[in-house]
Structure 1
Amino acid sequence: MEELVVVLILLAAVVLSGALARATRIALPLVQIMMGAAIALSPIETVVLDPELFFVLFLPPLLFLDGWRIPKGDLFRDRAVIVELALGLVVLTVAGLGMLIHWMIPAMPLPVAFALAAIVSPTDPIAVSAVAARAPIPRRMMHILEGESLLNDASGLVCMRFAVAAMLTGAFSLVDAVQTFAWLAVGGVAIGVATAFVITRLKTWASARLGEDSGSQIIVSLLIPFAAYLSAEHFHCSGILAAVAAGITMSFAETGAAMAVTRVRRTAVWDTVQFAANGAIFVLLGEQMPNIVAGAAQTVRLTGHAEPWWLAVYVLAIVAALAALRFAWVWTSLRLTWFRAGLRGEPRRNGSRRLLLAMSLAGVRGAITLAGILTLPLTLNDGTPFPARDLAIFLAAGVIVVTLLIATFALPPILRGLELPPHPSVQAREDAIRVAAAEAAIQAIEAEQHRLAEGRPDADLYAEAAGRVMELYRLRIDRRGLDPESRVQRRRIEEVERRLRVAGLGGERARLFEAGRSGELPEDSVRRLVREIDLLEARYSAGSAHQ
């Protein structure tokens, strides 16, 4: 019963944090961390965070969803930059930051310093997504950050694993490290792709022969990330990469044969899971903070100082070093990209210093850093306490909080008013596909009209109905001949129309609720009609979000 109460308290905190974030204009992750800390300091029963259970419960579905929804064209277009950040920057960070930490805190052995540097090197996709909701991060930059954070977890965790092994055994083999990393990465990706592909194909086959049940389809989609993660971990591969690969595969494995109602309900369920799991992660992080800070007075003695404020100095120095290394790597990577573009004869593009600075400060750390650092062993092989374990945990937790604060308060001013190049090619392709889709819709309507009206005396009725339906698609096709200025004017008119439609739908819905309360209309009819209105309003709202 106590576990159930704790879960309910966590969910209540997640719900309340959303209202507080909107009221205070503070980033949602920070509000959730503060609420978690308040729960930990209150008489309410708290949880002892098990890192392994934490990984299994929260990370697979969230990483799977990020992989599923990330734009694949942008991911593959910027694959070189993403791989450079996910591999090269992690290795540079482990080497450079590890040496810096050992130099600042000689009492922390070099392998432990490398382990700490490794676990703070990966950016966190969950934290990046949460901060992006408040910071005006450009679309392409956001996709690069998401792609990097989806892939760099494996490299950071592998580097940490070998640093810990070196501390426990006193030995390190570069060949073994490379082989293990290759097995973790390749095996994890392969298992994730195979799991999503096989389950999706089986699900499609069963639906075609037995009929489709929306509830079953949604539950299967929720189970896929756990199946991929646990299968990869069983074969000692990267479960994180397996969950990401499974999510990316879902975009290609799905044939689009699922019913529309299934997709609508599945989207709603996954949005709810994402909101609850994201919030629970940061609330749990806040719950751990008082215990971590409580050990600061004892931990500071390891650094050779007596004042606890030295720990804040170390945290700020680590965050500054992370940003400096990231800035240097991004700047170098950009220069190499320009050089390669010049060899191919492409025109040189100028970079923005503010974008470089934003890329350096947008490396937010989060749940993976916390869960990873808590997996440090308690003792060495000879039974003696693991050196500087509490200090490493405190510094990692401090890095999480400070990077969240920087991304929340420093990124918006840096990016405010930043003029970004438009994406005319993307818009042109989208317009062309919309026209092609409208032409296909007209052909389908004409074919269905002829089939329905064949041999019937009221064939004119079907022709009139088809004409009305096709008129919307003909208007969409007619826009193809508009010049760019007319297209801009047309989009402004569409935005006004959208707002008027939403207002009209609101009036409809209010009248339906009134009819239900007064008994003019049965409740089941009210629910059905309100759902139709809600779906229309959601459609218009989604269209506005993409403009």
Structure 2
Amino acid sequence: MESISVSLILLVSVVLSGTLARLSPIALPLPLVQIALGAVIASVADLGVQLEPHIFFLLFLPPLLFLDGWRIPKEGLFRDKATILELALGLVVFTVVGVGLFINWMIPSMPLAVAFALAAIVSPTDPIAVSAIAARVPIPKRLMHILEGESLLNDASGLVCMQFAVAAALTGIFSMTEAFGTFLWVALGGIALGAAVTWVVMKAKDFVSRRLGEETGSQILISLLIPFGAYLLAEHLHCSGILAAVAAGITMSYAEQSGQALAVTRVRRSAVWDTVQFTLNGIIFVLLGEQLPSIVVGAAEVVRTTGHHDPVWLIVYVIAINAALAALRFLWVWLSLRFTLFRASRKGTQVPKPSWRLVVATSLAGVRGAITLAGVLTLPLLMNDGSPFPARDLAIFLAAGVIIVSLATASIGLPILLTGLELPPEPSHQQEEDSARIAAAHAAIKAIEGMQHDLSQGRSDADLITDAAARLMELYRQRIDGRAMTGEAAAQVRRLEEIDHRLRLEAMRAEREELYRLGRSRQIHDDLVRRLVREIDLVEARVGMR
């Protein structure tokens, strides 16, 4: 009963945090509001939440990583693959070594392996936090795609590095040769298993759906179970469950292109996953705030062992680590940019030199978030001999401090850096969209003609079928003609479409209000109201996604 009560309190806190963030006059990032709310809860009530590292890891990371892999734009991922890999792999190793040595030098009481583990934990970035911060000053699409791709891969690389560091801390043994071989098995095995699990499950699902029909609830539940299945199978075979979840998500995006799922399944599944993402991210940050007081107490005890009796040194440590992370990230981004320009000049390609403000913004956008918190909370409680894991509370506090400071710094700095910044124009996909719409319209006309022929055979109402088909095909022909135009004519068509778009939205809102009025006055029954309103909602959702 107590666990259920705690879960309900956390869920209510997540809902409340969204309202508080919208009420904030200074547009505080949602994660900061959730951390503060968790701290308030801890000050007025002792929930007694004991976080078991492996359970926490299993419950939160697989679905979040799976969804990242599922939804990340693949075009941007492959177009900027070199830059993304430099940030996601090279920068992670650079950060683990550089920040790990720096932490060990600054806090001698923290063993080197634990310092490396902490550095690996704080290396992954969180694009969701960046998106929340930049809501009022949008980040350029291409930069956002790079940050999303980086976070997708550095989540995996950072947490895999953390696992190696923790293993070294537990055993006291580290072999570079053995680690490299193990890394290949862990990484490649995890990727292969994640892709295989999704592929097998989707093939089995499609086979059953073709023969027995599709049940929407089951399809949504299957998508929720895939990341956990991939993660658990990979961990059972001593591969990376993290990479398995990411690979499962990427494979899901390709498997989905088969178009086997019903439209209603896709709509409802998307809504469910949006809720899962919002809930899990929110609970993680509320839990951080709830655990913060006890984390501070434990960290202060560790600080005293370093000879610094004043807990203010905790703040010094956090600021110093953030400064080191920012400096290494800026240096890596600058070197990566120089290398990119050098390669382009060797090929004779003219690449516009980005503004220094964009380089600083890219560095500042390395905000830490849910993955860092989830990772640090999985540090073992005990060593192999049963003794407490060294400096665990201090490592958790420092990671939490890095999250808070990086969020606050980016929330202040990014709007300043991005406001008024002139950027290279984003590539237009209008021609590609027009071609796709024309091709889809031609396919629709062909399908209508075929269906008209089949329905008209031996029917007394063949004239009605012909008339309905002609009216529907005329709509598609108008779309083809409008999208095939160029120049001023095309602009005129698009202005007309925009006006039509606004009029249709207003008309559907009026329809819905009238249906609710009829329902309130008992002129139509509730089931009919729900069915008709849902039809309007689905059309409005499609029209509104322009």
**Which TM class, normalised by the smaller chain length?**
over 0.9
Within 5 Å, give how 1:111-260 maps onto structure 2.
Answer: 111-124=113-126, 126-128=128-130, 130-131=132-133, 133=135, 136-254=138-256, 255-260=258-263
- Aligned partner of 2:439 in structure 1 is 436
1:417–1:460 CA distance, 2 compared to 1 (3 A) = farther
Q: Contact 1:85–1:148 (CA<8 Å) still a contact in 2?
A: yes
Q: Contact 1:119–1:369 (CA<8 Å) still a contact in 2?
A: yes
Larger displacement relative to structure 2 (388-397 or 47-56): 388-397
Task: Return the alpha-carbon distance in structure 1 between the equivalents of residues 231 and 127 of structure 2.
Answer: 17
- Aligned partner of 1:18 in structure 2 is 18
Q: Contact 1:134–1:408 (CA<8 Å) still a contact in 2?
A: no
Q: Contact 1:302–1:388 (CA<8 Å) still a contact in 2?
A: no
- Aligned partner of 1:5 in structure 2 is 5
Task: Return the alpha-carbon distance in structure 1 between the equivalents of residues 321 and 494 of structure 2.
Answer: 48
1:155-191 CA deviation, whole Å, 9 max, x = no partner? 2223333333444444321111111211111111100
How far does residue 17 in structure 1 lie from its aligned partner after superposition? 1.2
Q: Contact 1:136–1:416 (CA<8 Å) still a contact in 2?
A: no
From 362, 367, 370, the equivalent of 2:365 is 362
How far does residue 461 in structure 1 lie from its aligned partner after superposition? 2.5
- Aligned partner of 1:100 in structure 2 is 102
Larger displacement relative to structure 2 (52-61 or 473-482): 473-482
- Aligned partner of 1:283 in structure 2 is 286
From 314, 318, 321, the equivalent of 1:318 is 321
How far does residue 387 in structure 1 lie from its aligned partner after superposition? 3.6
- Aligned partner of 1:409 in structure 2 is 412
Task: Return the alpha-carbon distance in structure 1 between the equivalents of residues 271 and 223 of structure 2.
Answer: 13
Name the amino acid aligned to 2:23. Answer: A
Name the amino acid aligned to 1:114. Answer: F
Name the amino acid aligned to 1:15. Answer: V
Q: Contact 2:194–2:234 (CA<8 Å) still a contact in 1?
A: yes
Structure 1 stretches lacking a partner, 5+ long: none
Q: Contact 1:358–1:411 (CA<8 Å) still a contact in 2?
A: yes
Structure 2 stretches lacking a partner, 5+ long: none
Asked whether 1:419 is paired with 2:443, we answer: no
Larger displacement relative to structure 2 (301-310 or 172-181): 301-310
1:5–1:167 CA distance, 2 compared to 1 (3 A) = closer
Name the amino acid aligned to 1:413. Answer: I
Q: Contact 1:40–1:46 (CA<8 Å) still a contact in 2?
A: no
- Aligned partner of 1:376 in structure 2 is 379
Q: Contact 1:285–1:367 (CA<8 Å) still a contact in 2?
A: no
Task: Return the alpha-carbon distance in structure 1 between the equivalents of residues 183 and 344 of structure 2.
Answer: 31
Task: Return the alpha-carbon distance in structure 2 between the equivalents of residues 325 and 533 of structure 1.
Answer: 52
1:13-54 CA deviation, whole Å, 9 max, x = no partner? 111111111111322111111111111111252411222111
1:25-84 CA deviation, whole Å, 9 max, x = no partner? 322111111111111111252411222111111211121112111111211222222211
- Aligned partner of 1:471 in structure 2 is 474
How far does residue 463 in structure 1 lie from its aligned partner after superposition? 2.6
- Helix, strand or coil: the match of 1:417? coil
RMSD across aligned positions (CA): 2.1
Q: Contact 2:186–2:240 (CA<8 Å) still a contact in 1?
A: yes
Task: Return the alpha-carbon distance in structure 2 between the equivalents of residues 126 and 188 of structure 1.
Answer: 24
How far does residue 280 in structure 1 lie from its aligned partner after superposition? 1.3
Task: Return the alpha-carbon distance in structure 2 between the equivalents of residues 134 and 294 of structure 1.
Answer: 37
Q: Contact 1:27–1:134 (CA<8 Å) still a contact in 2?
A: no
TM-score (norm. length: structure 2): 0.94
Name the amino acid aligned to 2:179. Answer: A
Asked whether 1:63 is paired with 2:65, we answer: yes
Q: Contact 2:300–2:314 (CA<8 Å) still a contact in 1?
A: no
1:193-237 CA deviation, whole Å, 9 max, x = no partner? 000000000000000111111111111111111111111111111
How far does residue 383 in structure 1 lie from its aligned partner after superposition? 5.5
- Helix, strand or coil: the match of 1:520? coil
- Aligned partner of 1:49 in structure 2 is 51
- Aligned partner of 1:447 in structure 2 is 450
1:418–1:483 CA distance, 2 compared to 1 (3 A) = farther
TM-score (norm. length: structure 1): 0.94
